[in-house]
Structure 1
Amino acid sequence: MKKIKIVLMSFLLAGVFSCTTEDLNPALDQNKEANGGITNVDNLYAVIKGAYSRMTGSGYYGRDLIVTNEVRTDNCFSNGNSGRFTTQAGFAYSNTTGFFWDDAYRVIESANLIINTDLSQLEGDQEYGLHLQGQAYAIRALAHFDLLKQYGQKHVTGGVTPGGIPYVTTYLSNQSTQEELFPPRNTIEEVRVKLFEDLEMAFNLMEDTGDTNFFSKYAAKALEARVAVYFEMWDTAVDAAEEVIDNGGYAIVPAENYVASFESDGGSNIIFELEFNSTDNLGGNSLGYIYRTTGGGSYGDVQVIDEVADIFEDTDVRGLFDGTNGILGYEGDMLRNIGKYPDNQGYDNVPLLRYEELILNYAEALLNTGGDALTQLNKIPANRGASLYAEATIENILMERRKELMFEGFRFEDLVRTGNDIVKYSIQQNFTETIPYGDSRLAWAIPLAEMDANSSMIQNKGY
């Protein structure tokens, strides 16, 4: 019987645990039971490291997910220098392109192995084991949320039913049921409920470790605030954001340190980031390599639309600089992301949860609940050398999000979740005309290989 690709990813852990966690290969997708190799809580640490490593791959947060959600917007386009990302930027993708589907479900499989392990049967620190399970719940929520945003039908008019994605919570074994082997799509509402259940478990199980390379208690709350904003659960977003603000000890990076903050790891504004280093660098598949040419030695396909320079004031540290010392700069006559992910070999850590984003989520939630959104909104430009806003509106919040989070993969989601069209306003954009809100191209196709393997799967509208 042919199994669904989602779950063809049991890990051969025997032998892995004799290695260091740095040697862990997260791609050991062998059709073999893993549970027998887990005898100690420390073994779960190796599995969680594997899940984080999977997320750093170029097909996921190492490059593609972030870049695709920039080149489909009013921020960037693909100039086709090496032939990369023109398909995504032109909204010309099809069901033969899997994107990060497999990567995300492999991350989920690792998380499920940890969550479904009976800690009472393991040697070692049980409290630490609970903390690791809390991380696994947060990872599982993040991966499913990413899948929902890219493959779900929430913003597609007349989309398929059910329009969510399979929310996988079991680790496969020889005793797995037919539905576990061939999971159907959940509804969007079912996915929403499961996301918040996982995030609540994550918060309750984890400690506040202060290690930004791993999910922590308040990182789970920061992710909860992001998810709540996406679903317009404004009271929940306010509560989650305030939990982080009141207890997390984070701070907005001041203007004088803003550009430099992307050249270093950690920092007062980092809630959670994925670790990259010279040992597991992505080289030519890294974010820096696709954003810049660095004298012609990199791909440099992702170019900034010329008009983007006009949205920044001259005093704004996020704006246009005269060379290579800022966020925006020119390489020849091409406007580039110069400052974020500056190492073209991919040694830079990739922040997934920054305090500045949390504050903007908080401002948007306050705007929708009658709170003081303006004070929160103005905390960002006040620390960037930019003019303060006279009024908190959704337009102003979205503009500030665009300025602050540019090149980090938020813009496409921000436009779609607020019901905006993807406007064709520059000849440089790869698509030929405005993509209206509700268009089927706002969601990716379920990969053809998945459709062939899983008789329960329903393809998205338009594919």
Structure 2
Amino acid sequence: MKIFKKIIFFFALTLLVWGCESRVEDIEPEDNLSTDAVFSNFVNLEAAVIGVYDGLQDGDLIGTPDFIADFTSDNVDFVGSFTTLQDIRDFDADATNGTIDNIWFDVFDVTRDANNIIVNLENINADDVQGAPANFDALAIQFIAEARFCRALAYLVGVNNFAQPFQVDNGNTLGMPIVTEFFEGDVEPFQQPRSTVNETHAFIEADLLFAMNNLPASNGIRASSTAARGLLSRLYLYREQWAAAANMANDVVNTTGFSLASDFSFYNNTSSEHLFQVINQPDDPAIGSDFDTFYNPTSNNGRGDLPIAQDLIDAFEAEPTDLRFTVLTFSDVDAGNNPGLFTNKYPNGATNESDPNVIRMGEIHLNRAEANLRGGTTIGATPLEDVNAIRARAGLPALGSVTLDDILLERRKELAFEGARRMDLLRNNQNLKPGGGAVTAPGANFVILPIPDDELNGNPNAQQNPGY
């Protein structure tokens, strides 16, 4: 895989969890091995499974799209010097943009590695695998479920960035090409046209349902059925399937071992708050560097490129005792040496080891609140109870009643700098930028990213997004 030391790190943790006696140093990078060698030896096979997670550590998949979601909306200002990011910020990117190219192909890097597990492991039994444990059949199903979870997550990133939300033409606009076969190498060899958003969402849903039904409720740092339910609650919320979203979120809330943390020390620490994170080590040059480097000022070994936007500061200052404002932000200077306010959700600028949240309990309660409010239900709790639980942790007084605007405001403040803002605005028919006009309005051409030139040139069935 791209970063072999991460495979060793993840595999070492797996050895501790499952008591395997194999030597970590005997593991060979999966991309140095033939398919037969990978699937005929259990140590190599599990290294390949863990290698799928390695793809999620690439900052162009979980990282860059998240802060793009905040600076193309009203949470963050991008003041850095990278022209590819400046063009995205200005809604003036084109199909040759290198950052966009990286996001697109990282989706398919994870897809390739996941498909390797899904396609090849289905037809293998314990007799075919050297060193296979007694519970190999059960583990094989679990490995496939982990791969399908990771593939679903990658596709969710892709469809959210390269396609219009479900609310535009009821999901009948262009989505992602669906790739279910294993392919080798970094150059895309498949020739599928793009499926619709609805078809892409159905593909994601099927993967997550399989993961939900075949993974344990808790699985350490790896994918779990609880994390799959959490992502399904997000998918159903985005699709306005209110009862399904509320039920999935409610299942998560009622899962033993997961709950709202009592304070905000859960960032970068082990906590009941986390459903799924991407774990980093000190000096990992992948996802941590994207969040840590861009969100930290130079005084904390960052770039100072992403100060908090005044519009979000104003929203926080309406209730200035909010702990998400007083505890999770600090003042410094930005990349232009101007005073700015920064988030400290990613505090490890020196070591690049922050562990961003892919899905956590704060979002789950807000998913349930919004789904119940909009569906006219009280599955598990009333919307008011969920919102007040979030506000209580933030040190704010309880509300006496709750509206959709109240819930969206709590989502904005709770999930700021975690990549949720852009989709929350678009799916609720709100402009990405205050006073942004037609360019940043929901459904506008440039609120989604162009399909890269490399894809258009390599796939004769590829279709560009309108306007590009």
Q: Where on the TM-score scale, by shorter chain, does this alignment land: which range?
A: 0.7 to 0.9
2:58 aligned partner: 57
1:309 aligned partner: 313
Kept in 1, the 8 Å contact 2:27–2:47? The answer is no
Structure 1 residue 79 displacement after superposition: 1.4
Structure 1 residue 438 displacement after superposition: 1.3
- Comparing 244-253 with 348-357, which one deviates more in the overlay? 244-253
Structure 1 residue 82 displacement after superposition: 6.1
**How many Å separate the matches in 2 of 1:440 and 1:395?**
26
**How many Å separate the matches in 1 of 2:235 and 2:52?**
21
Kept in 2, the 8 Å contact 1:156–1:437? The answer is no
1:113 aligned partner: 116
**How many Å separate the matches in 2 of 1:160 and 1:207?**
32
Q: Which amino acid aligns with 1:147?
A: G
1:193 aligned partner: 202
2:460 aligned partner: 455
Question: Helix, strand or coil: the match of 1:302?
Answer: coil
Answering whether residue 422 of structure 2 is matched by residue 412 of structure 1, we say: yes
* 1:219 alignment partner, one of 204, 227, 230: 227
Structure 1 residue 127 displacement after superposition: 1.3
Kept in 1, the 8 Å contact 2:308–2:343? The answer is no
Answering whether residue 279 of structure 2 is matched by residue 275 of structure 1, we say: yes
**How many Å separate the matches in 2 of 1:227 and 1:277?**
30
Answering whether residue 379 of structure 2 is matched by residue 369 of structure 1, we say: no
Question: Helix, strand or coil: the match of 1:389?
Answer: coil
Q: Which amino acid aligns with 2:241?
A: M
Question: Helix, strand or coil: the match of 2:77?
Answer: strand
Give % identity.
25
- Comparing 353-362 with 240-249, which one deviates more in the overlay? 240-249
Per the alignment, do residues 39 and 65 of structure 1 end up closer, same or farther by CA in structure 2, a change over 3 Å counting? same
1:234 aligned partner: 242
Alignment of 1:131-210 (within 5 A): 131-154=142-165, 163-172=174-183, 181-210=190-219
Q: TM-score, normalised by structure 2?
A: 0.83
Q: Which amino acid aligns with 1:184?
A: P
Kept in 2, the 8 Å contact 1:153–1:460? The answer is no
Per the alignment, do residues 180 and 82 of structure 1 end up closer, same or farther by CA in structure 2, a change over 3 Å counting? closer
Question: Helix, strand or coil: the match of 1:397?
Answer: helix
Q: Which amino acid aligns with 1:402?
A: R
1:5 aligned partner: none
Deviations 1:398-429 (A, max 9, x none): 1000100101111011111112112335xxxx
**How many Å separate the matches in 1 of 2:241 and 2:92?**
33
Q: Which amino acid aligns with 2:96?
A: T
**How many Å separate the matches in 1 of 2:399 and 2:144?**
42
User: Cα RMSD (Å) of the superposition?
Assistant: 3.1
Q: Which amino acid aligns with 1:126?
A: D
Deviations 1:327-374 (A, max 9, x none): 122104533333201101321111111111011011111112212211
- Comparing 179-188 with 378-387, which one deviates more in the overlay? 179-188
1:3 aligned partner: none
**How many Å separate the matches in 2 of 1:197 and 1:284?**
30
Structure 1 residue 236 displacement after superposition: 1.1
Per the alignment, do residues 286 and 189 of structure 1 end up closer, same or farther by CA in structure 2, a change over 3 Å counting? closer
Alignment of 1:372-411 (within 5 A): 372-411=382-421
**How many Å separate the matches in 2 of 1:416 and 1:229?**
13
Answering whether residue 104 of structure 2 is matched by residue 101 of structure 1, we say: yes
* 1:249 alignment partner, one of 257, 274, 286: 257
Q: Which amino acid aligns with 1:368?
A: R
- Comparing 119-128 with 229-238, which one deviates more in the overlay? 119-128
Per the alignment, do residues 81 and 293 of structure 1 end up closer, same or farther by CA in structure 2, a change over 3 Å counting? farther
Gaps of 5+ in 2: 12-21
**How many Å separate the matches in 2 of 1:279 and 1:307?**
33
**How many Å separate the matches in 1 of 2:396 and 2:302?**
32
Deviations 1:135-186 (A, max 9, x none): 1111111111111111113469689975111121111389xxxx98311111
**How many Å separate the matches in 2 of 1:173 and 1:24?**
17
Per the alignment, do residues 111 and 19 of structure 1 end up closer, same or farther by CA in structure 2, a change over 3 Å counting? farther
Per the alignment, do residues 205 and 43 of structure 1 end up closer, same or farther by CA in structure 2, a change over 3 Å counting? farther
Per the alignment, do residues 160 and 194 of structure 1 end up closer, same or farther by CA in structure 2, a change over 3 Å counting? closer
More helix by share: 2
1:289 aligned partner: 293
* 1:437 alignment partner, one of 439, 442, 445: 442
1:40 aligned partner: 41
Kept in 2, the 8 Å contact 1:33–1:173? The answer is no
**How many Å separate the matches in 2 of 1:160 and 1:453?**
26
**How many Å separate the matches in 2 of 1:380 and 1:110?**
37
Structure 1 residue 266 displacement after superposition: 2.1
**How many Å separate the matches in 1 of 2:231 and 2:169?**
29
Question: Helix, strand or coil: the match of 1:337?
Answer: strand
Structure 1 residue 383 displacement after superposition: 1.2
Q: Which amino acid aligns with 1:246?
A: N
Kept in 1, the 8 Å contact 2:91–2:439? The answer is no
Deviations 1:29-84 (A, max 9, x none): x8x963453113443321222221111112121x3111111110111111135667
Kept in 2, the 8 Å contact 1:367–1:373? The answer is yes
Kept in 2, the 8 Å contact 1:163–1:185? The answer is yes
Per the alignment, do residues 157 and 188 of structure 1 end up closer, same or farther by CA in structure 2, a change over 3 Å counting? closer
